[in-house]
């Protein structure tokens, strides 16, 4: 069992010791895609979602999610984020629309922010669903992925 990085010599889970790692500037970008009906898209554009602007609330929830990642993903280290931002883009699709949500997270630290970026878009997508479900329960949250990461021992990554 000790050959696994997140297991101790007794074969029990552990958080990896990063105390000997060097701090570096790190960023990560992640994306989630949500399919939605034309009816929902039109309601959002008209400002007629009864709960309010779903993108505003989703963005706030996503930022909160990034900050709370270590509390909900067991082996993540608590890190001090220097920034979290979002971009939202609607695209026409065969069945209606797709909302592409992207989050970028930054920190200077000893461990990366990939999980924070992925958590940010996941929580934002769930919040968007919650805000809009009264109009369209058929929404699908799909294709959550890491787009890019920079910094750290493993170097940079860009999804091809």
Chain center to CA of 15? 21
> pLDDT digits over 122-159, tens only?
999 999 999 999 999 999 999 999 999 999 888 899 99
DSSP 3: T
Q: pTM to 2 decimals?
A: 0.93
> pLDDT digits over 86-119, tens only?
999 999 999 899 999 999 999 999 998 999 999 9
C-beta atoms surrounding 117 within 10 Å = 29
Q: Looking at 53, 130, 136, 156, which residue is catalytic?
A: 130
**Cβ within 8 Å of residue 118, ≥6 positions away:** 28, 30, 144, 146
Across 6-44, b (16+ Cβ under 10 Å) vs e yields eeeeeeeeeeeeeeeeeeeebbbbbbbbbbbbeebbebb
* The two structure tokens encoding residue 152: 């750290």
CA proximity to 146, closest of 122, 123, 110, 111: 122
Q: Which residues are annotated as a binding site for substrate?
A: 75-77, 115-116
Annotated active-site residue 130? The verdict is yes
| Whether residue 8 has pLDDT greater than 90 | no
- What's the pLDDT at 1? 44
């Amino acid at each position: 069992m000790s050959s696994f990085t997140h297991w101790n010599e007794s074969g029990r889970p552990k958080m990896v010791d990063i105390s000997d790692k060097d701090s570096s500037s790190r960023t990560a970008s992640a994306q989630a895609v949500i399919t939605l009906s034309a009816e929902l898209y039109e309601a959002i554009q008209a400002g007629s979602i009864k709960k309010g602007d779903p993108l505003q609330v989703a963005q706030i929830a996503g930022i909160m999610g990034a900050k709370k990642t270590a509390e909900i993903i067991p082996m993540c280290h608590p890190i001090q984020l220097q920034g979290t931002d979002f971009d939202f883009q609607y695209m026409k699709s065969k069945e209606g629309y797709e909302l592409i949500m992207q989050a970028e997270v930054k920190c200077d630290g000893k461990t990366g922010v990939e999980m924070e970026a992925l958590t940010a878009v996941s929580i934002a997508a769930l919040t968007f669903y919650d805000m809009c479900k009264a109009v369209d329960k058929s929404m699908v949250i799909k294709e959550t992925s890491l787009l890019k990461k920079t910094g750290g021992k493993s170097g940079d990554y860009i999804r091809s």
